Structure 1
């Protein structure tokens, strides 16, 4: 019995040593260290103006299209009002060009004159017919017929003249004038649309869904064109960056799956979408075997669950089984 105990202890020691050796010599060629980075969006106004309103704070979650901030520019508002006034004036001029040349009251006077001329013409016609009948019977002189014919012709011409005046009074402006007025309206409307688009640029919305990382200005401050007011981090902008030795590069390709682990978080998958074409470290003279071992290549992977990671967080990257083959 006393001899069995040392044997058992020896076996336990050998088993523990073998386990330690197995862990220490485990293949780590497909495991690398990295960290989380992100391509942050810096949102800035396109024109200079005073910050009129700020709708978000640091840490807020926003959806695409939601209001971030708005600038105020007195010059832009004045340009919009001036353009609106120009459009109204051009439209009024076009309406005047399309309207009859004479006022409705003046046309009514001409219409009344036309009625009187028709009545006079009818009376002259009857007198002319009577004089022609009497002349045919020989009871009236030829001079009476000539006088009646002249009166009839005079009243006919007068009626025709009044009708022409009415037609002219109802005509709009000439075609060239109408075209000019229409072009003026089109130009004014185009200018109004342009200044309105320029003014709309003062209202800035979120280009993507994400989290506000930083706010650089406060309400009332003047912001120059192109200066960021808000930085926004969309979840899809997160990426994991790590470096692998030169010898491993031939075994990796975009689309390979890796597993990301970190302290205090559950493992999550990621997909390699970028492999650097050149090494991050280049020896100054020649590539000896020792120096070649120092060459590493930058790789970036897109995590499947970016919300589980934080920017700057160190992670461990492991190639999934079956990937890289």
Structure 2
């Protein structure tokens, strides 16, 4: 006879006798099956079966070579974008500024010399000791040197004030994009390792280093103490004695005395528990599944452990 068949038989006997007779149930666990959203080869398992983990403790990791390289590349691109932005914000480097200043000083000197030559040619033209062509050439040199001084002055002003506002905005946007790419790369790297979401017992380790897991496939199974519950089945004549939130008494081998549990689920429909088959002769063997969560520490309860459940005498909680 299976465990469920035995349970149903016992609860049916209980339903026909004294209301204080306990109902047989068993402990069950809501496991946390920890996996990762990406596939890969298991690199390291950091826990063992039966161990205890605290929130944030590392559980396992997958191979991370590609993700680490992507982070390094994103960091380099971010540094490059920042340097380009800083160059626009601070203008030309000091040595470049000095070079432009020297070129403008030379152009100023050339312009002054050209202006002197023009004045000389104008004096000579009045004494008819030079030609008009020489004077025109001197004046053209002045205009050329004056244009050169203006060009270098503009270059120096631009170098001192930095890049144009539109170029600076574009550089800022490039830095933001590079930072976002780095953040994404870091998220992908973090998703190659798993941590414990809460304090729990390690119930099973499903893979070993070197094995390949699919995306979302569990690698470690955890059971927090708060995820242990007690399941039992009630005869239709008994189920009316409890309701959502009712408190039932528990007893089991090795458990502390006076332990209780709060009913968290009652099946809306009765079912035939296998291997009982439907027929007119066993219609009175319908059973309702009930789940209750221990109100105190349930560390001593183990999934599959038989538990005796005593129903409250005064009917369901209001």
TM-score by shorter chain over 0.5: yes
Counterpart in 2 of 1:63? 54
| Alpha-carbon separation, structure 2, partners of 1:264 and 1:194 | 51
Within 5 A, what are the aligned runs for 1:80-95? 80-95=71-86
1:274 aligned residue (261, 265, 274): 265
Counterpart in 2 of 1:234? 224
Deviation of 1:214 (Å): 0.9
Deviation of 1:312 (Å): 0.3
Deviation of 1:114 (Å): 6.5
Tell me: CA distance 1:193–1:49, structure 2 relative to 1, closer, same or farther (3 Å). Answer: same
Within 5 A, what are the aligned runs for 1:1-325? 27-28=18-19, 31-100=22-91, 102-108=92-98, 161=150, 166-267=156-257, 268-281=259-272, 291-304=282-295, 305-322=297-314, 324=316
| Alpha-carbon separation, structure 2, partners of 1:323 and 1:250 | 7
User: When the two structures are superposed, what TM-score results if normalisation uses the length of structure 1?
Assistant: 0.71
Residues paired across the two proteins, number: 265
Deviation of 1:99 (Å): 3.2
Worse-matched range after superposition: 309-318 or 73-82:
73-82
Q: Secondary structure at the match of 1:231?
A: strand
Q: Secondary structure at the match of 2:240?
A: helix
| Alpha-carbon separation, structure 2, partners of 1:81 and 1:300 | 51
5+ residue gaps, structure 1, are 1-24, 125-153
| Alpha-carbon separation, structure 1, partners of 2:158 and 2:228 | 75
| Alpha-carbon separation, structure 2, partners of 1:77 and 1:27 | 67
| Alpha-carbon separation, structure 2, partners of 1:64 and 1:163 | 65
| Alpha-carbon separation, structure 2, partners of 1:40 and 1:263 | 23
Q: C-alpha root-mean-square deviation of aligned residues, in Å? A: 3.2
User: When the two structures are superposed, what TM-score results if normalisation uses the length of structure 2?
Assistant: 0.72
Q: Secondary structure at the match of 1:324?
A: coil
5+ residue gaps, structure 2, are 1-15, 116-142
Tell me: CA distance 1:106–1:270, structure 2 relative to 1, closer, same or farther (3 Å). Answer: closer
| Alpha-carbon separation, structure 2, partners of 1:89 and 1:110 | 26
**What CA deviation, in whole Å up to 9, does each residue of 1:29-80 have, x standing for no partner?**
6631111111111111222223222211110011111111122232212211
Q: Secondary structure at the match of 1:251?
A: coil
2:231, 2:291 within 8 Å by CA — same for their partners in 1?
Answer: yes
